[in-house]
Structure 1
């Protein structure tokens, strides 16, 4: 973090650019978690539907 603080102090990197990059990273993580949850829900639903279709009705 010391290298980043030095770059900001010399004006090589602005604080807004750092916040922008951090926000993009957080947004990517949130969207990735959402996609993983949707994928897990869809795979669970297809497995439960397939097992219900294979059971013989009494």
Structure 2
């Protein structure tokens, strides 16, 4: 079984990708820094989960 992502993580990630389509990359570390720039997230755990999900979505998009 895989890890479950909450609706919050999915919605925020999809919204960010649609707002800034050319900004985010498939690099986790780069996305973490960009999230600090575009969002005010107090929790490092939440920021990392969102960054990881963005990487996952972009990899799926590139496969198609």
**Pair in the same fold by TM > 0.5:** no
TM bucket normalised to smaller:
0.3 to 0.5
Comparing both chains, which one has the higher relative contact order based on Cα–Cα distances under 8 Å and sequence gaps of 6 or more?
2
Query: If you compute each CA radius of gyration, which structure gives the higher value, 1 or 2?
Result: 1
